[in-house]
Amino acid sequence: MEAEMTVVQEQAPEAPEVPEVPEVLVSVRDLKKHFPVTKGALRRKVGAVRAVDGVSFDIVRGQTLGLVGESGSGKSTIGRTLLRLEEPTEGTVIFDGGDMADLSTSGLRKLRPRMQMVFQDPHACLNPRMTVSSIIGEPLVEHLSMTSRERNERVEELLGLVGLNPEHANRYPHEFSGGQRQRIGIARAISLNPDLIVCDEPIAALDVSIQAQVVNLMEELQDLLGLTYLFISHDLGMIRHIADRVAVMYLGRIMELADVDGLYDNPLHPYTRALQSSAPVPDPAAEAIREKIVLEGDIPSPSSPPPGCVFSTRCPEVVDRCRREVPVWREVAPGHGVACHLVPAT
């Protein structure tokens, strides 16, 4: 904990673009994304999957916001809506001071180079018929006017940055292992010097020893290029390592949002506690004495969320009020917000 603090303090004066007051790069307010459920030949709308249902958070420039939750909690949809790969149903996304809803198509296109994405499956996100140099060079062709020589130089520089041999630029994705392909995906994401990178479970498909390599690379690049990450993962251990702030999601809503130390040392929401206790600890002695909260049942369907608190169907501490009233978002400590009736106001 202390080590992290000193690291942050040491870096602040070195990087000139980081001002004294933390600058908010992305500000999301009451974001909703509902996918319609249609029926019959006329595709009549009969309901909606509430993938993201009223979510607000800020991401500070140069920091990492971790987004954790189970499958179906809406993590990936937030990432995609943020980048406007999905149109939001409601709510605003402010990127670097400008409301993205005001932008025209061409305005949005100008903004695209500043926000990039690293995908989960390194086998599916690279075109198998393109060479590595054309994969990494494609964003450069799209958004910049470079000569092919400049472009090749940039591709070689990027390959070096992500720890791949620049001589392999003319190989095809199938010639690389999973970890190396993820490095190619990262090189493509940083090719246009973006501000924000949405990392959608970038290490979930990799082996343990390779995960550490990729996470280290991402942290190095963050320091080197001043990148801001939205890091989506279901791995609480890795989120603790990489994130500055963490949002815990359940069924399209944020249950708790806090600094990483606050969330892990003092989890307030029953779901956060259950999630933490579900993650097995790689230490047999600790595992034997650890208090385990095992949740009953499954995550409800986002097309018919329960009334009141969405977690009320599985919450071990549920009271009557939870089933009737939707808990309001409250900030109970500086920078530590929670949506739960049971957490006393402080």
Partner 1 sequence: MPVLRVTDLTTRFNTQDGTVHAVNGVSFDLADGEVLGVVGESGSGKSVTMMSLLRLIPTPPGEISAGQAIFEGDDLLSMDLGDLRKVRGGKVGFIFQDPMTSLNPVVTVGDQIVESLTVHQPGRRKAMRARALELLQLVGIPSPEERLRCYPYELSGGMRQRVMIAIALACNPKVLVADEPTTALDVTIQAQILELVKGLREKLGMAVIWITHDLGVVAGLVDRVLVMYGGQIVEDAPVDEFYAQPRHPYSQGLLASLPSATSPGEKLVNIQGQPPDLRSAPASCSFAPRCPHAFDRCHRENPVLSAVSVTRKVACWLDEVPVLVSAQSDETAEGQAGHGS
Closest C-alpha to 163, from 126, 214, 210? 214
Residues in 160-189 at the binding interface with partner 1, rule: CB under 8 A: 163, 177, 179-180
Q: Using CB under 8 A, pick the residue from 43, 129, 149, 292 that binds partner 1.
A: 292
Q: In which element (H, E) is residue 93 found?
A: strand 90-95
Minimum separation from the CB atom of position 234 to partner 1 (A): 7
240 near partner 1 (CB under 8 A) = yes
CA atoms within 13 A on the CB side of 79: 27
Torsion sign (Cα): 158, 161, 166, 170 = negative
Q: Choose the stretch contacting partner 1; rule: CB under 8 A; options: 3-11, 36-44, 101-109, 142-150.
A: 3-11
Minimum separation from the CB atom of position 168 to partner 1 (A): 13
- 256 within 8 A of 249, measured Cβ to Cβ: no
Q: Choose the stretch contacting partner 1; rule: CB under 8 A; options: 53-61, 194-202, 224-232, 293-301.
A: 293-301
Per-residue binding letters, 56-95, with partner 1 (x by CB under 8 A) = --------------xx------------------------
Q: Choose the stretch contacting partner 1; rule: CB under 8 A; options: 78-86, 188-196, 238-246, 335-343.
A: 238-246
Q: Measured from the CB atom, is 49 or 274 closer to partner 1? A: 274
Minimum separation from the CB atom of position 312 to partner 1 (A): 15
List alpha helices for the chain, DSSP H. 2-14, 75-82, 105-111, 132-143, 148-161, 178-190, 208-225, 236-242, 260-265, 270-278, 284-289, 320-324
- 273 within 8 A of 267, measured Cβ to Cβ: yes
136: phi then psi, degrees, rounded to nearest 5 = -75, -30
Q: Using CB under 8 A, pick the residue from 275, 309, 338, 340 that binds partner 1.
A: 275
Q: Measured from the CB atom, is 103 or 212 closer to partner 1? A: 212
Q: Binding residues for partner 1, how many (CB under 8 A)? A: 52
Q: Choose the stretch contacting partner 1; rule: CB under 8 A; options: 39-47, 187-195, 295-303, 304-312.
A: 295-303
Q: Using CB under 8 A, pick the residue from 55, 159, 184, 238 that binds partner 1.
A: 238
Minimum separation from the CB atom of position 136 to partner 1 (A): 19
159 near partner 1 (CB under 8 A) = no
Q: Measured from the CB atom, is 94 or 299 closer to partner 1? A: 299
**Cβ atoms within 10 A of the Cβ of 125, count?**
18
DSSP letter for each residue of 100-146: GGG--HHHHHHHGGGEEEE-S-TTTSS-TTS-HHHHHHHHHHHH---
**Cβ atoms within 10 A of the Cβ of 261, count?**
14
Q: Measured from the CB atom, is 156 or 219 closer to partner 1? A: 219
- 272 within 8 A of 255, measured Cβ to Cβ: yes
Minimum separation from the CB atom of position 123 to partner 1 (A): 12
49 near partner 1 (CB under 8 A) = no
Residues in 191-220 at the binding interface with partner 1, rule: CB under 8 A: 207-213, 215-217, 219-220
279 near partner 1 (CB under 8 A) = yes
- Residue 211's SS3 state is helix
Minimum separation from the CB atom of position 3 to partner 1 (A): 5
Closest C-alpha to 188, from 203, 199, 177? 199
Residue 254 is encoded by which pair of tokens? 């944020």
Residue 215 is encoded by which pair of tokens? 């996470």
Give me the residues that bind partner 1 (CB under 8 A), please. 1, 3-4, 7, 70-71, 163, 177, 179-180, 207-213, 215-217, 219-220, 234-238, 240-241, 260-261, 274-275, 277-288, 292, 294-299
